[in-house]
Amino acid sequence: MGRYVLRRLLQMVPVFIGSTLLIFLMVNVMGDPVAGLCGERQCDPATAAQLRREFGLDRPLWQQYLTYMGNVFTGDFGTAFNGQPVTELMATAFPVTIRLTVVAILFEIVVGITLGVLTGLRRGRPVDTAVLLLTLVVISVPTFVSGLVLQLLLGVQWGWIRPSVSPAAGFGELLVPGLVLASVSLAYVTRLTRTSIAENKRSDYVRTAVAKGLPRHRVITRHLLRNSLIPVVTFIGFDIGALMGGAIVTERIFNIHGVGYQLYQGILRQNTQTVVGFVTVLVLVFLVANLLVDLLYAVLDPRIRYA
């Protein structure tokens, strides 16, 4: 196991370098970083040139990348458009997005798995058909549409929630945004659980469990669920990274000042360091989450052995 973790960590290195380099290149294609630094005014050529030298922007791109990564590893993520260190932005933005993601993941686990188990056990019945149709609709409605509609209904028409989230962004306020963020994944979790349950329900070992005279609830929880949830847990694990990266739309709709908001501002103001810094952290989260999922897999399924 230790050796496997080490190998996976080593494999992560090229992927990390590749993704950050890619985003670095993309951001540099995005526009002239200096243009953003002078604010609304046009930079005069002399100042621009000086700024370029100051930030090392006159050097080749790969050198800039190396310098930047060197700084990142000493904890220096550079400066945001408003002069604040990027790390300070992160310190306020990440907790908000993490809370949002936690809410979303909880929705996936509680609602998604419950619905999936219910429908998987009642395949072909009216409940199953209804939930299946519902998941199709949820998957088909893009997040920004469901977000706007929920905001309209719950926030504006019925006044159940505040249409935009306060800067504190507590868990209570994040319930609806979390549901919106989770919605598509939630539908996938439901469908995945349903398929998995339905498939395993017909498996030989479940038949054995019934033949052993086990009570129905024991057959389901101990034999059926345990096996069926392995792919679901994997999906949810991979989704952590995707949710944090995808929160940008939800955060924009509900005016949540999280990672997505800062990134959006960074892109609007063409601030290279903000964008690259945040994306670097997101990539790291994604990679570590994937590694953890792989390790968890071995715990859940003893047939998987890592050498």
Partner 1 sequence: MLLEVRDLHVEFRTRDGIAHAVNGVSYSVEAGETLAVLGESGSGKSVTAQAVMGILDVPPGRITGGRILFRGQDLLKLKGEERRRIRGAEMAMIFQDALSALNPVLSVGDQLGEMFVVHRGMSRKDARARAVELMDRVRIPAAAQRVRDYPHQFSGGMRQRIMIAMALALEPALVIADEPTTALDVTVQAQVMDLLADLQREYRMGLTLITHDLGVVADVADKIAVMYAGRIVESAPVHDIYKAPAHPYTRGLLDSIPRLDRKGRELYAIKGLPPSLMAVPAGCSFNPRCPMAQDVCRTDEPPLYEVDQQRGSACHFWRECLHGRRG
Partner 2 sequence: MPEQPYEPERAIAGTGMGGTMDLGASEAVTLDRTPGGPAGPGPADRPRSLWSDAWRDLRRNPVFLVSGLIIVFLVFISLWPSAITSGSPFTCDLAKAQDGAQPGHPFGYDGQGCDVYTRTVYGARTSVTVGLCATLGVALTGSVLGGLAGWFGGPWDSVLSRITDVFFAIPVVLGGLVLLSVVTTNTVWPVVGFMVLLGWPQISRIARGSVITVKQNDYVQAARALGASDARILLRHIAPNAVAPVIVVATIALGTYISLEATLSYLGVGLKPPSISWGIDISAASPYLRNAPHALLWPSGALAVTVLAFIMLGDAVRDALDPKLR
Binding residues (CB under 8 A) for partner 1: these are: 202-205, 207-215, 218, 222-223, 226-227, 230, 300-303
Q: Among partner 2, partner 1, none, what does residue 211 contact (CB within 5–8 Å per kind)?
A: partner 1
Nearer to partner 2, 143 or 234 (CB): 143
* Pairwise CA distance, residues 90 & 60, whole Å: 28
Nearer to partner 2, 47 or 140 (CB): 140
What are all long-range contacts of 39-45, with beta carbons under 8 Å and residues at least 24 apart? none
- Contact region for partner 2 (CB under 8 A) — 10-18, 73-81, 166-174, 217-225? 10-18
- Picking from 286, 292, 307, 305, the residue whose alpha carbon sits closest to that of residue 20 is 286
CA angle (2, 4, 7) in 5-degree steps? 115
* Pairwise CA distance, residues 262 & 248, whole Å: 9
Helices 272-300, 86-107: inter-axial angle, 10-degree rounding: 40
Nearer to partner 2, 29 or 46 (CB): 29
Pick from 4, 8, 16, 296: which binds partner 2 (CB under 8 A)? 16
Contact map string, positions 115 to 144, toward partner 2, x by CB under 8 A? ---------------------xx-xxxxxx
Strand-pairing partners, residue 85, are 79
DSSP H or E stretch at residue 230: helix 226-253
* Pairwise CA distance, residues 290 & 105, whole Å: 15
What phi, psi does 300 have (nearest 5°)? Answer: -75, -35
- Contact region for partner 2 (CB under 8 A) — 1-9, 170-178, 242-250, 294-302? 242-250
| Pair 237, 290: CB distance under 8 Å | yes
Nearer to partner 2, 32 or 215 (CB): 32
Region 97-116 residues binding partner 2, contact defined as CB under 8 A: none
Question: Least CB distance from residue 101 to partner 2, whole Å?
Answer: 13
Quickly count: other Cβ atoms within 10 Å of residue 222's Cβ. 12
- Contact region for partner 2 (CB under 8 A) — 7-15, 38-46, 85-93, 228-236? 7-15
Pick from 4, 8, 19, 85: which binds partner 2 (CB under 8 A)? 19
Contact map string, positions 30 to 49, toward partner 2, x by CB under 8 A? xx------------------
